[in-house]
């Protein structure tokens, strides 16, 4: 009798355990919870001849502060569950408004003394993309690129039509003199004088020239780019890339660089990676740098860092091109690579610390 009772007890316990297991497995498989990824973000603010010896501490501190502020703005969006596209736009707005960078306010001048802005954005989830070239009146070209992606049937717009579309889309319009900075103007004048090219009239609406000459923030022969770019991974596991630039100083004839060309300066696919590049655009276009990095990751199965280094240090250097890139994968690999003395850069992954770098001897 006691034996039977004991056996019954064991059976009951076993049944309870079995039911528990079945219910537990069901709940897990039912997937009431969304798969959650750890977010991450990487930024660049341009590559080039950026060296400790020619950088004064105040300017260096200003760059680091601005990179931190932009990264934090993007990280905040991601931490609250926002999309990688929203994070990129938030971070790039800060860099576009900061005259330190060659994007939005602070863009370099063309040989005719104008600011012509280029930008692109790409969504790794669905390969949707938007790009603009030759923008002159839209305060935030990255938002215009996004509007092209989301509100037009096209991928790329150029010239006066871009600003017309921006105004129609409700994006903030400004007088072209909004983008004027004395530092960039003097830098253009120095370059044109050196090259014996005509110096254009000071743009209409620009403030009166300073009485005392500006301190030379840039060494006369410095080759700096200063484009801005952001790649991000959100909690849903989607990656995206965005780039915004004034192009290259003294550019002529409606020149367009790599930044707004999908696959050259900007690319994103959840199948491989997201990339934003900076450097001498003519080389990046010919090598389709951004897509090349992602193709290596996708088809060769190498790590993101290996792919980035191969494209920058072998392929770009093979053509004698200069510059760098930032990249991210949906599984959270982050990379940067550049072959110049410096690249303004920052990155942060969920739960990790903010890492900022300028020179090539920093990690």
Catalytic residues: 227
342-349: strand order across its sheet: 156-158, 128-135, 117-123, 239-245, 228-233, 40-48, 342-349, 355-359
Find the shortest distance in angstroms from Cβ 257 to ligand ASP: 2
* For ligand ASP, the closer CB: 237 or 260: 260
List binders of ligand ASP among 193-232 (CB under 6 A). 225-227
Give the C-alpha distances (Å, rounded to integers) separating 347 from 165, 224, 290: 33, 21, 18
* For ligand ASP, the closer CB: 238 or 276: 276
* For ligand ASP, the closer CB: 83 or 227: 227
Residue environment code for 301-337, b if the CB has 16+ CB neighbours within 10 A, otherwise e: eeebebbbbbbbeebbeeeebbbbbbbbbbebbbbbb
For ligand ASP, the binding residue among 40, 42, 46, 133 (CB under 6 A) is 46
Give the C-alpha distances (Å, rounded to integers) separating 117 from 14, 144, 332, 342: 70, 11, 31, 23
For ligand ASP, the binding residue among 74, 82, 113, 279 (CB under 6 A) is 279
Contact region for ligand ASP (CB under 6 A) — 49-57, 192-200, 231-239, 258-266? 258-266
Asked if 281 touches ligand ASP (CB under 6 A), the answer is yes
CA atoms of 235 and 330, how far apart (whole Å): 10
CB atoms within 10 A of CB 194: 10
Phi, psi of 254 (to 5 degrees): 75, 30
Asked if 162 touches ligand ASP (CB under 6 A), the answer is no
How many residues line the site for ligand ASP (CB under 6 A)?
A: 15
List binders of ligand ASP among 90-109 (CB under 6 A). 102
For ligand ASP, the binding residue among 248, 266, 329, 337 (CB under 6 A) is 248
Find the shortest distance in angstroms from Cβ 45 to ligand ASP: 9
**Strand 128-135 and strand 156-158: pairing?**
parallel
* For ligand ASP, the closer CB: 45 or 124: 45
Find the shortest distance in angstroms from Cβ 67 to ligand ASP: 15
Residue ranges that bind ligand ASP, judged by CB under 6 A: 46, 102, 225-227, 245, 247-248, 257-259, 265, 278-279, 281
């Amino acid at each position: 009798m006691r034996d039977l009772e004991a056996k019954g007890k064991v059976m009951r316990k076993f049944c309870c355990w079995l039911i528990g297991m079945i219910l537990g497995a069901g709940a897990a498989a039912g997937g009431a919870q969304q798969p959650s990824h750890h977010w991450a973000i990487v930024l660049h603010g341009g590559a080039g001849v950026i060296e400790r010896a020619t950088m004064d501490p105040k300017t260096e501190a200003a760059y680091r502060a601005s990179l931190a502020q932009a990264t934090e703005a993007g990280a905040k969006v991601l931490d609250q569950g926002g999309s990688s596209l929203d994070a990129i736009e938030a971070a790039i707005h800060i860099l576009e408004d900061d005259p330190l960078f060659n994007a939005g306010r602070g863009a370099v001048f063309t040989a005719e003394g104008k600011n012509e802005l280029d930008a692109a954005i790409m969504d790794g989830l669905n390969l949707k993309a938007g790009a603009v070239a030759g923008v002159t009146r839209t305060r935030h070209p990255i938002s215009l690129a996004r509007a092209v992606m989301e509100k037009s049937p096209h991928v790329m717009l150029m010239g006066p039509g871009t600003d017309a579309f921006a105004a129609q889309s409700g994006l903030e319009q400004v007088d072209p003199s909004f983008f004027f900075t004395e530092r960039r103007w003097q830098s253009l004048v120095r370059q044109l004088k050196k090259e014996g090219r005509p110096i254009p009239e000071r743009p209409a609406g620009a403030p009166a020239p300073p009485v005392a000459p500006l301190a030379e923030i840039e060494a006369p022969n410095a080759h700096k780019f200063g484009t801005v770019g952001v790649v991000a991974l959100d909690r849903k596991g989607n990656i995206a890339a965005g780039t915004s630039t004034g192009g290259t100083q003294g550019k002529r004839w409606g020149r367009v660089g790599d930044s707004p060309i999908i696959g050259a300066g900007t690319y994103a696919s959840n199948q491989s990676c997201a990339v934003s590049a900076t450097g001498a655009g003519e080389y990046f276009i010919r090598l389709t740098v951004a897509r090349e990095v992602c193709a290596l990751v996708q088809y060769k199965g190498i790590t993101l860092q290996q792919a980035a280094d191969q494209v920058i240090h072998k392929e770009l250097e093979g053509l004698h091109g200069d510059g760098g890139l930032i990249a991210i994968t949906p599984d959270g690999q982050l990379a940067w690579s550049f072959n110049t003395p410096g690249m303004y850069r920052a990155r942060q992954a969920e739960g990790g610390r903010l890492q900022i770098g300028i020179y090539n001897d920093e990690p």
